A = this chain, B = another copy of it.
């Protein structure tokens, strides 16, 4: 008896061990920063270039607007960081934008945010990998020459690593991120020192001229162009919201540490962004939207063979010199951080999926934490969509960024509006003046954040719609529609299967059981099935065999008699050598005869160890089972017989149990509340 009561305890201990194995330890700030900030910090590798690129449309003279645009981006960054610091304090459970919008604005807003985030994850992979390849390519030309191929290869590699359950380790993130950040800061400092001491900084493109597509732009057209440049610069803000999902992963005091990390990240991003733009201006970087025709060397366009390197690498070339150790190190670190940023999407996508599944917007099995198959499906879907985009857009980060920003600002805006509602609700009941003051201040920050990000969203939509934002919107609509349809299906089924109140439901009350054991030969699996079926003491028990070969049938009948098996053996003929049809007809016949009886069919099943063995066994049984389930009043029992080879599968299953669900580190440890309710 003690053994049985031990079971739950053993399970708990087993779990406790697993909990360690999963590496679900809390993150100190110095590790949390790289884990959560690789995505937003890596944006500075492409955002500054996008600003210059758009400005170049009005000619190189428009470059002097870039400090103002940088300033606008900085203000926006501070606003967003300040807003999300409120989120972090209000939702220490790690409710991301989806939860905030869902709770405060209702399920439609929540679903909109979720759709935007799902599209964003796909684009995070596509943009980060493409930009990573471009940065790597500034040091290794081969990579840019085979851009699409290399980008797809990196996506496939990340996918395989994540499918195999690569453990997301804090250290793995820390080293490249810090190398990147420190490298950029050394570059900025050294570049500033050289500039101040009168050294001439010369970017590789400093001797090029820009042929403006629209020279002498003025008035509304110029304002529109500046807004477009600003929208492009907003790419620097992608990924800022990640920390708000990860509060539980922080050490205590969780909210405070998360808020501090958020501020730190914002500060670093702003300095890097502005510094790179400043050095780019100083060193005379020239970028154009269509470099082949718009960049001119000595009066001749540079042509299709020209590769436009990212701003960060051009600045590094100006400061350190092309091909020097520091130049190559920075290019490698930049690429690596961008790949890590892409990897965060691999963790975030299935995680968001599991939260959506909990609310029945996605298939229910995605909800199960650590379910390998569900995660795999999510990962493969993400990778497939990202590869599609990379191939369609030729791994061109500039083109992909047009799609990227709209989703980010949809979730920013809705999340901030939700926060305003959150404070309104709390202010209704809160009476303590100090608390009220704090809430009113938070509400003001969130309200400002909502208006500002909302404004940016409008700007982004207006300036980017035809450039590709419509694709992102279409993606959102598809996700939204699919999830709505899934939820509707679940709701309809839930209604259909809801149990009527009161204890009596006649159609569910069968009277007797007629058991049938399917037999092909007398061997161990059959004997086991017979033994089990006998144990169940049904009202009637018979063995059933389908005769497809008269010789085999005769042998079966003789063996049956020889062994004196005290179960009647019924044989159905099947001249067409069919198995399924005669059995189904027979069962239907039994049901017609006594509709209140239940027919219980026992199928001996071979349990094998390799996938190819499945092709050799149980195929008829599986198909039969599939058909029997459609017949009302039937239950189907599989009596397994473990072949020796099944040991191999058991070992595999054990190995699989050690699999790490992606995103474990950033999600923090398991919520242990449910365990307290444990009483059986």
Q: Would A641 and B365 be within 8 Å (CB), given that A503-B564, A627-B653 are in contact?
A: no
Pairwise interchain contact B644-A496, C-beta atoms closer than 8 A: yes
Chain B residues near A638 (CB-CB < 8 A): 625, 629, 635-638
Residues of B contacting A503 with CB < 8 Å? 563-564
Judge whether B578 and A677 touch: CB under 8 Å: no
In the complex, A165 has a CB within 8 A of chain B: no
Residues A7-56 near B (CB distance < 8 A): 7-8, 10-11, 14-15, 18
Min CB gap A478→B, angstroms? 15
- Inter-chain contacts of A18 with B (CB < 8 A): 576
Question: Does A581 touch B at the CB level, under 8 Å?
Answer: yes
Given A598-B535, A636-B638, answer yes or no on A620-B364 (Cβ-Cβ < 8 Å).
yes
CA distance A358 to B577 in the complex (A): 11
For window 567-613 of chain A, which residues contact chain B by CB distance below 8 Å? 570-579, 581-582, 585-586, 589-590, 592-593, 598, 600, 602, 605-607, 613
A439 lies within 8 A of chain B by Cβ: no
A646 at the binding interface (Cβ < 8 Å): yes
**A524 with B550: CB separation less than 8 A:** no
CB interface residues, A 621-680, toward B, < 8 Å: 623, 625, 627-630, 632, 634-644, 646, 649-650, 653, 657, 670-675, 677-680
Question: Which residues of A475-511 have CB atoms within 8 Å of chain B's CB atoms?
Answer: 486, 489-490, 493-494, 496-499, 503, 505, 508-510
Assess whether A428 is interfacial by the CB under 8 Å rule: no
| Interchain CB contact (< 8 A) of A7 among B370, B374, B589, B619 | B589
Given B3, B525, B579, which contacts A592 in the complex, CB threshold below 8 Å? B3
**Using Cβ atoms and an 8 Å threshold, which residues of chain B touch A522?**
499
For A589, what are the chain B residues with a Cβ–Cβ distance below 8 Å? 3-4, 6-7, 10
A502 CB, nearest partner CB in chain B, Å = 9
- How many chain A residues sit at the interface, stated as a range, is 35 or more
Q: Is the CB of A508 within 8 A of B536?
A: no
Given contacts A364-B616, A499-B524, contact A630 B644 (CB under 8 A): no
A642 vs B627: C-alpha distance in the bound complex, in angstroms?
12
| A267 interface hit (Cβ, 8 Å) | no
The distance in angstroms between the C-alpha atoms of A374 and B646, with both chains bound, is 25
Rounded to whole angstroms, the CA-CA distance of A526 and B619 in the bound complex is 28
Is the beta-carbon distance between A577 and B370 smaller than 8 angstroms? yes
Contacts of A581 in B (CB 8 A): 657
With contact pairs A528-B508, A635-B638 given, residues A606 and B493 touching in the complex (Cβ less than 8 Å): yes
| Chain B residue, CB-CB nearest to A608 | B493
Report the copy number of this chain in the oligomer: 2
A166 on interface, CB distance cutoff 8 Å: no
Point out the residues of chain B lying under 8 angstroms from A532, CB to CB.
Answer: 510, 513, 598, 600, 635
Q: Are A672 and B527 in contact (CB under 8 A)?
A: no
CB-CB under 8 A from A582, the residues of chain B are 11
Q: CA separation between A641 and B461, bound complex, in Å?
A: 48
| Interface of chain A residues 267 through 291 with chain B (CB within 8 A) | none
Docked-complex contact B585 and A368, CB < 8 angstroms: no
The distance in angstroms between the C-alpha atoms of A510 and B370, with both chains bound, is: 35
- Cβ of A369 < 8 Å from any Cβ of B? yes
| In-complex Cβ contact of A671 among B8, B498, B572, B575 (8 A) | B575
Seed contacts A630-B640, A635-B639; 12 additional CB < 8 Å A-B pairs:
A3-B592, A10-B585, A365-B623, A367-B548, A493-B617, A503-B564, A513-B532, A547-B674, A550-B673, A573-B674, A627-B653, A636-B640
Name the 3 nearest CB pairs between A and B, nearest first: A7-B589, A369-B577, A365-B619
Show 22 A/B contacts (Cβ-Cβ < 8 Å), sorted by A.
A15-B576, A369-B577, A373-B619, A499-B523, A513-B536, A532-B635, A536-B536, A536-B600, A547-B677, A550-B674, A553-B674, A553-B677, A573-B677, A576-B670, A602-B635, A605-B629, A607-B629, A629-B642, A630-B650, A635-B637, A635-B638, A636-B638
Interface residues of A (CB under 8 A from B): 3-4, 6-8, 10-11, 14-15, 18, 358, 363-365, 367-371, 373-374, 486, 489-490, 493-494, 496-499, 503, 505, 508-510, 512-513, 522-528, 531-532, 535-538, 547-550, 553-554, 563-564, 570-579, 581-582, 585-586, 589-590, 592-593, 598, 600, 602, 605-607, 613, 615-617, 619-620, 623, 625, 627-630, 632, 634-644, 646, 649-650, 653, 657, 670-675, 677-680
